[in-house]
Every structure is written in C-alpha cells, then in structure tokens.
Structure 1
Amino acid sequence: MRHERYVFLPTDFFDYGPWSPPMRFKLDSRRAANLRLSTGAFAQMTPSFQWDRVEGASGYSIQIDDDASFSSPTINQKIDLNSFTPQGGMESILADGSYFWRVAMRRSNTVSGYWTEGPPFVVSSVTPLPLSPIADAEISQQPTFAWTAVLTPTLTPRVAAGRYQLQLDDDPNFSTPTQFETDNTSFTLPKGRSIADGTWYWRVAVLHDFNKTGPFSPVQRFYKEYLAPTLIAPAQGATSAGLPVFTWAPLSGAAYYRIEIATNEQFRPSQFYLTDNTRFTPQVDLKAGGYYWRVQMFDRDRISGPWEMGRVTIGPITDQLYLPVQLAGWGED
C-alpha cells in the first residue's frame, strides 16, 4: 500500500509515495462438520450422505472412494445442498465393499475449502430368503411365492424394503424372465399370467430407489403339474341302464372342465362338452354299448390339466310288465 498525489491543471500528473510496510493475512475456510450416513456404518440400502450447512458456502463437493487416499473417486460430485443421495444409476456403482467419503465447501465453482472426511462405511447388500415354493417342491396349482422381509440395518432395523422384484422363468439362466413387482412378501400370479405344467425357476430381490434391483436371492426350482380329476360315477367298467350321470371330484383352481365321450380309447371321433359343474348328463341319447369318457380341468387362463379316463357300458332300457298275482290260500270263498 502507498500514498498517491494528483496535481490538477495545467500539468495534470500522478505521483506516488513510498510503499507501506508489507502486511500479511491468512484466508481460511470453514469446514463441513457432523458428517453422517442415513444408513449408519453398514449400508444395506442406497445411503444418503449428510452434513451441517456451512455459512458462506455457495455449494459443496463430495468424493466417495474405496481408497482412503481418494486416488480415483468412484463418485466426485459438485452439489448445492448439504446432503447427497446417489441418483440415476450411481447407486449401482457402489458394489458391496468398504468405502471412504469426504466433503468440502465451495466458495465458487472453482474455489474449494478444506476436505472433511466422514466415517467409513460398508455396503453389504441384503437379499430376501425364499420360503416357498423351494427345494424342488411339486405343486398342483398356480404358485404363490413367499419370502422373508428385508429390514435394514439388520442389527437395529429401521427401514423395511419398500418393494421387491420377482423373476420367473423356465430357464435356470433367466434368459427371458417374466418380472413382477410387489410391495408385499408374497405374490400370486395374476389372471392372464398363469404358467403351464413343467419345471420353473424363480428368484427375488429388493427394489431400491430409482427402480434399481439389489442382488437376487438364490434361485429356487419347483415343478408344477395340475392334477387329473378323480372320477366318481359311473364306476370304472360299470354297466348303466340308460344314460348315466357322469360325476367327478372338484379340483382347486379349476375354472371349468372338458368332458369327452367316445366309443374308442383314441376318442376319434368324440363328443365333447364344457361345464363349470362336476356333474354332467349327456344332451343326446347314447345307444347301448361300450363307451369311454374322460375329464380334464382348465384354469382361468384356459391352461389345461391332464385327462382322467373311465369306461362304462350303457345297456338297453328294459320295459317291465307288472301282472296281478294270485296267491294260494288267499281269496274269497
């Protein structure tokens, strides 16, 4: 600093005095304080990074790295608020493992203060535990899937997983899975999504923020096959005097049944009928002779179960003539 002198007309000019003694000052910035994680030290869901607001800050910088020296931060963001939650796809970057993070206030877009390190944390994803159907179970109706609820953190649970994603496929590699999302820990296939008989595979995962799935549970395998109806009447190989009433036991999950009647085991040709009852009387007369009949169930999505076949002989209807009988020892004298 030095004194200046200015002389006016007629010879306007500036003149400078000697410099003052040099003075020194130190510019120091405030540090972010009270750094914390919404999930605690063990992050089993997408964490939110938080700290106290710094007076005079125009924004903040945050770095997250699996290296304590922050040599190549996994996340390096400039933000305006005093909290940060990975968005879009960033949360998928934080794979299971140990991490370090730090925050610095910014005076401008290019001028930053000192870094303050937050507490280290561990990302340890939790998967639901399948309950049913599991372990090569054999079922005879459309499955209801069930699994354990995921609570985080596991030691002192505070948050329950909001949603789950279920995958179902007939390929153990899940090349073309059918996916369902639910808020519950059980799921029954809706109308229009019934599965055919056969071997199936399923798995479930927590659905995090931004519709990102966590790790899937171990794959479970089960076998589904509808039951064949149990035929009740007419009994196998019985003879019926006239048209019989065909009867069978009801099956769980059956929306309706198909019954076929033919004179041969190949059912070519045959008469077939659809009914939602478990009793059926033919609508046309059947001539006397041997017949084969079979029944199968259909579910609400028209997926059929196996046949059960019976055999019956229809005999002719015989007319009976009743005549008066004279009993010995009876009558009028």
Structure 2
Amino acid sequence: MRWEPEDGAEKYKVTWTYEGATTKSEITYSTSYTPDLRIPVGKEVTWSVQAINVNGDISAFPIGGQRTFTTIANPTTPGATPVLDPPETGAMRFPALSWSPVEGADYYKLRVGHAGTGIFTALAQEHAYPAGTDITESFIRAGDWDYMVTAYTAGNSAISTSGVGTFSVEPLSGVSGERLALSGLELGTADECTESLPQLCRSLTQTPVLDWDPVEGASHYLVYVARDESLTNMIYEDYLTKNTRWTPTDQLPDSQAGQAYYWVVRACKSKNACAPDPTQATHAFDKVSNPVELTSPTEGETVSDAVTFEWRDYLRTNVEGDDELIHTTVEAASYRIEVANNSQFSSPYTFTVVDQTTFTAANRLYPEGPLYWRVAAIDGTGHQLPWSNVVAVNKTSSPVVLQNPTDDGVTTGSLALRWQSQPFVGSYQVEVYKNNDENFSTANRVLSATSKMPALSVVEPLPASPTPYVWRVRKVDGYGNVGAWSSRDGDVWSFRVRSKAPRLVSPADAVYIAPNAALFTWKPVPGASLYRYERRLAGSSSSSETINTPALAWAPSVYLSDGGREWRVSAIDTDGNVIGSSPWRTFKVDGTAPTVVKKFPASGGKPTTNVVATLSEAVRGVDSGTMKLFLKGRQHPVSAQVSWDGGSKKATLNPNNPLQAGKTYKVTLSNAIADPAGNNLAATSWEFRVRR
C-alpha cells in the first residue's frame, strides 16, 4: 500500500480490514506499508491512511479517501534464496522493498545498516509477504543504507539469506522563500521584506511575522533567532512549529545601536530526523518600535501644584498615529514614566510603572523650576520600548495672595497677618523686613516665622516707624518644596506701623477729683512690660510727676493742690522703647468748699428788697429748696422765686409779696449747695430788719 507524502505529516496511521477479519491499524513513518500477516486469496481488502503531525494530531479524513483491492495468488515461482528487487529511488523515507519468494518460507526479516560498514540491525517486524518497509523512524534520516533479507520457516529456522542490497534516503531540501512582514496581511504585498544576509530588513516597529515556503517531506520546522549571525547568542533555539509561518511568542526588545536579530529555519521529517544543524543565520532584521506620543503638558508649558502627565494610548499611536509612523498593532501592557529636573534624568523624582495613560504622583509634589518628562511603553512580555521625546515644562505654582495688612496700609505694632489659603500646603513661610527693604537683606529682617494656617499673629509688636515695613509669604508643600514668594504684579507689599497707645480709663476727661483720692487707670497694651504715668499742670510743658509701673493703675501719694492738671500714660517694651503714648487728658482738683462772701441786705432792707447771697465760687443746687426766707418766728418760708447767676456767683431770692415793714426776716442757705467738685457749702443764715 503506497501513498503520496502529506505536507506536515510526521507519520501515518494505516487502517485495513477484509470480510471476516477484525480491523487492524498500524503507525508508520514510511509512505508505504505491507501487512504483517497473510490475507486469504480472493478477499477484498478495504484500507485508508491518515496523516499525523508532529503534535500527534490525526487528520480528520483519509488521504485520498478509502480504497479497496482484491488479493490474488502470487504468480512468482518460489526459489531457494531471496533475490532482491531494485529499491525505489528518490525516497525521503524508508522505501518500499521487495524480493523474490523462497520455497518453504513462512516469513521474512530485514536487516539494515549504514552502507559499507558491514554492520546490520535486524528489524523487529516479521514480513508475511516478500515485501516490506520499516515502520519506525530509525532509518528515515538521509543517507545510504545496506540491507539483507532472510527467509524463515514457521518454526523460526532460517532458510536462506539474500545478498546485500543498497537503498538511499534523500535529504530534505533547504528552506527557501524566507520573508517577513509586520503582520500576516502584509505578507505577499509590497510591505513584506525578502532581504537575505548580508542585507537586513530594517526599521520594523514590532516583532515581525516570519514566513517561508513549505519543504517537501517536512513534518515541521525548527526556528532559530539569535543576536548574532553565528547563532551563539540565542533568543529562540530550535523552536518547533508545524506551520510555515511563525511569530515569536514574545515581543522582542528593540534593537540597540548596530545590533540586529538573525534568523534561520531548519526542516525536519520527524523529531529525530532533521536537516543539519545550522551554523549561521540566513536572514536578519532590526526592530525599532514607535515612541509614545506625549499629550500634556506640552513643551514650555507652565504647570503648578500637583502635575498630571498624559499621553496617547500606545495602540492608538501605532494604528492611528502620524503618517511618518509605521502602523502596527503592538499594545502596551504598561508604561514607564520618568520625571526629573534635568534632561539626562539623573536622580529622577519619578521612575515608576503605571497601567494607564495618565499619571499624577500620589506620594510627592515636584519642586518649583524646570521639569523634564518622558514615557516608554512596556509590551506584553515586559520589554521596555523606546522612550518618547523629552518634554520640558516649568513648575511655577501660583504665589500667595496677601490680604492684611493691605499694601501701603497702616497698622499698630501688634500684627495680625493674613493671606489667601492655597492647595497642597504643608505650611507657610512668613518674613517681615524693616526700612522698606525690597531686597530682603538679612540685616533688615525683623520676622521669620512658619504657620500652618493662612494667618499669623505676631507676638512681639513691631516698633512704630515712619519708614514702611515690607512682608512676603510663600507656601511649603507637604514634601518640603517651597513655592514662589508672594507678589502683586511683581511689586512688594508694604505697611506702616503707628504707635499703639494705652487707652485711658479713669478719671474721665475734664472731671474734678479729690486732692487726696486720685486714682488713674488705663487699658493694657500688647508687648508692654512697663507703663509710664505722667502728670503736669494744665498748659505746662514739664511733668510734675513721672513714674514707671508694671501695673495698670497709679494713685499719687501726695495731696494735690487745687487747680487744673493733665495726665497721660506711655507703653514701654522690654527694651525700654516707647510703644505708644496716650494723648494728654485734663482733670481738676478742688478741695475748698464754697462760702458766702457777701450778704444783702446785711442788716436792713426795704419791703421791696431782693435777698442776694454772693458765693466764693460757682455752685450747683441753688433753688427754693436750698435758699429760703423766713419771717422771724414763723416756720414756713416766704413765698419767693430763687435764681442763680453763675457769672456773678450770686444766688437771688425775690419774694412774691412785699416784705412787712418793721419785721425781722431770716435768710438760710443749706449745705445741699455744692461746687462742681462736690464740696458742700456750710449751712449759712443771717437776719435783717425791714425799715418802715
């Protein structure tokens, strides 16, 4: 039974039967087969052959379909010794051998050995007919082989042996038609590459598809891919494929400068019968993938605070990218992003792998200044592809906006600084400089503080000064990166400090106080360690009393004479500097009670006389209840009108009816009359007689 070799078949399954017999199957590496038992003459034999590939897969349908034949008697007359028939030529497997039948032979056995060695190996199979093949793969390797046939009786006794015959097994032809392309669709088009060494297939943007023509008699192929032409630095060594088209199982890393990938294909009849081992590659290519396309931020762009980097999906770049890119279908399993303050990326701030097309650092904020960034795709096998172009941006976060004190504003020494809050802040640095120093020299710095809030209360008050102070604030993020100093269109904010004076409490302005009960009080001033109390005569330029006290009150220990006075208090800091002084406040001292200095009428008067008492000073409380006129001996006062003239200091009593002539009247002024200081008039009275 013979059949044509099937492409890709390593071996074959032969199945046969005839009426009255069970179905038999045999696996053979040859393309012919002779049953190992005799079939009765006249029987119709049904047989078929299925191909089996190197993976053990059996073809679904028989090669050439199912066939039949009918056995007949052997017309050849048996002889004493087997006579070998000429073997078939051009066979790539063990050929179909035949010989003349031997009288009395029950079966035959073949012995095979390398031609010319005289060493033979007996095959295991017993042949019922004077014909047969080897079903193993032992002798399908290319070469010349000697063989002999021995006839045996049914009792296993050798009858005779043939002479030595020779047959040849042809080698597989070399692989040819090698070509490659970025995809199978491009094979057979103008985009495929058929260059062979010393020429290279250049600038492939993804791992290519390798392809070659089928080799007659080959069951499979071994593919070799190496980094060098002599195949010493292997990447894929004898990778088995039953197809004539193969793509490396992993994406290959991009070629480095001056380095390519070298490849060669070796055909095999079976796993143990292949063309000679290759010692040199026949073809080569280099691989340079498309770079990632960066989208944001762009070259020269200014960024602030938490920077977000974005780039295009790598597959979209490869499929839909710019015209100068070679379109491929390579996808990125992940991306590596690198961010640094220099274009060489030494000591980068970020060097990490992400699985999306955007990145915002979760564990840091970048410092102010130039930033350089780039991204590389990482393919499904973990190989990093080329870096993108390097993009330079400038990290400049928004400066702090100052609020209080306003620019060129005025404040007291106790400062409450405020500014607008900013995002991503760990703290704020605050500085104040004297002498309107817009150059911020250390010698003029009077405050350097840190605040976690957008405000700062200055504990030590600033001295009052006609020259402005300048101030500035900058943020410090949670990772210690400092931002830009505050400014308004490049200008520096300034403010002036005026005196912070104590607020006087008592005595109130222009009041009378007792000469021996004076108590002066005032409110505290932040930053004051002492207070200076000063008192002087009204209108004087020199103080009559000056004392320093840490208290908020002072009581003079001397008796104050009558007259007008002024007083003030100054706040003094720990260095003895005056923080601020209150304005002068007036008060009056009056310890003398008012008296009646003149009485009218003193002794006698007319019936129409008005009674007048002239006092030593202005008083209060003069009325009909405190100044009265009595007819002597009477208990009820005369009905009269009482008035006071502060200018003349006269109290006048005008009776409503004429006084009775010849009668004596008594005038009384009570001690309810008092001067503005509260000194009471001593109760006073006198009598006069009305003349007739």
1:319 and 2:503 are equivalent in the alignment = yes
Give 1:25 shift: 6.2
Give 1:286 shift: 0.6
Give 1:244 shift: 3.5
C-alpha distance 214-311 of structure 1, shift in aligned 2 (>3 A): same
Aligned partners of 1:163 and 1:206 also within 8 Å: yes
Higher relative contact order (CA 8 A, sep 6+): 1
Give 1:299 shift: 0.9
Q: Deviations over 1:232-278 (max 9, x none)?
A: 11112211146342111223332321223454543545341322x22
2:305 counterpart residue number: 141
Q: Distance in 1 between matches of 2:149 and 2:474?
A: 109
1:252-263 matches, within 5 Å, as 252-263=423-434
TM-score normalised by structure 1 residue count: 0.67
Q: Which of 350, 354, 372 is the equivalent residue of 1:182?
A: 354
Q: Pick which of 19-28 and 243-252 moved more.
A: 19-28
Aligned partners of 1:38 and 1:50 also within 8 Å: no
- SS of structure 2 residue aligned to 1:313: strand
- SS of structure 1 residue aligned to 2:298: coil
Aligned partners of 1:241 and 1:317 also within 8 Å: no
1:16-35 matches, within 5 Å, as 17-19=161-163
1:270 and 2:437 are equivalent in the alignment = no
Q: Distance in 1 between matches of 2:170 and 2:273?
A: 19
1:128 and 2:292 are equivalent in the alignment = yes
Q: Distance in 2 between matches of 1:196 and 1:214?
A: 29
Q: Deviations over 1:270-289 (max 9, x none)?
A: 341322x222222x241541
2:416 counterpart residue number: 245
Q: Which of 456, 461, 485 is the equivalent residue of 1:286?
A: 461
Q: Distance in 2 between matches of 1:100 and 1:191?
A: 44
Aligned partners of 2:180 and 2:208 also within 8 Å: no
Aligned partners of 1:64 and 1:76 also within 8 Å: yes
C-alpha distance 26-292 of structure 1, shift in aligned 2 (>3 A): closer
Aligned partners of 1:104 and 1:112 also within 8 Å: yes
**Which letter does structure 1 place at the counterpart of 2:366?**
I
Q: Pick which of 301-310 and 104-113 moved more.
A: 104-113
C-alpha distance 17-135 of structure 1, shift in aligned 2 (>3 A): closer
- SS of structure 2 residue aligned to 1:62: strand
Aligned partners of 2:425 and 2:478 also within 8 Å: yes
1:300 and 2:478 are equivalent in the alignment = yes
Q: Distance in 1 between matches of 2:361 and 2:235?
A: 40
2:319 counterpart residue number: 154
Q: Pick which of 295-304 and 42-51 moved more.
A: 42-51
Q: Deviations over 1:93-148 (max 9, x none)?
A: 499999996654543467349x9xxxx99956222211122221122334221111
**Which letter does structure 2 place at the counterpart of 1:313?**
R
Amino-acid identity (%): 21
Give 1:199 shift: 2.0
2:200 counterpart residue number: none
C-alpha distance 157-135 of structure 1, shift in aligned 2 (>3 A): same
- SS of structure 1 residue aligned to 2:362: coil
Q: Distance in 1 between matches of 2:345 and 2:450?
A: 39
- SS of structure 1 residue aligned to 2:384: coil
Aligned partners of 2:434 and 2:470 also within 8 Å: yes
1:92 and 2:261 are equivalent in the alignment = no
C-alpha distance 271-215 of structure 1, shift in aligned 2 (>3 A): closer
Unaligned stretches of 5+ residues in structure 1? 7-13, 52-56, 325-332
Aligned partners of 1:97 and 1:124 also within 8 Å: no
Q: Deviations over 1:56-84 (max 9, x none)?
A: x9985114599xxx986786621357676
Q: How many residues align?
A: 301
- SS of structure 1 residue aligned to 2:385: coil
- SS of structure 2 residue aligned to 1:305: coil
Give 1:85 shift: 3.4
Aligned partners of 2:224 and 2:239 also within 8 Å: no
Give 1:211 shift: 3.3
Q: Distance in 1 between matches of 2:256 and 2:239?
A: 19
Q: Distance in 1 between matches of 2:433 and 2:235?
A: 73
**Which letter does structure 1 place at the counterpart of 2:464?**
G
TM-score normalised by structure 2 residue count: 0.36
Give 1:187 shift: 1.1
Q: Distance in 2 between matches of 1:307 and 1:204?
A: 32
The structure with the largest alpha-carbon Rg is 2
**Which letter does structure 1 place at the counterpart of 2:239?**
I
Unaligned stretches of 5+ residues in structure 2? 1-146, 153-157, 192-203, 213-217, 279-283, 321-326, 487-491, 511-642, 644-692
Aligned partners of 2:334 and 2:356 also within 8 Å: yes
**Which letter does structure 1 place at the counterpart of 2:414?**
L
- SS of structure 1 residue aligned to 2:253: helix
**Which letter does structure 1 place at the counterpart of 2:254?**
S
Q: Distance in 1 between matches of 2:429 and 2:149?
A: 110
Aligned partners of 1:236 and 1:311 also within 8 Å: yes
Q: Distance in 2 between matches of 1:3 and 1:157?
A: 61
C-alpha distance 133-4 of structure 1, shift in aligned 2 (>3 A): closer
**Which letter does structure 2 place at the counterpart of 1:61?**
L
Give 1:302 shift: 1.0
Give 1:86 shift: 5.9
C-alpha distance 20-305 of structure 1, shift in aligned 2 (>3 A): closer
**Which letter does structure 2 place at the counterpart of 1:150?**
Y
Q: Deviations over 1:192-216 (max 9, x none)?
A: 4x33222222211111244322122
Q: Distance in 1 between matches of 2:286 and 2:372?
A: 31
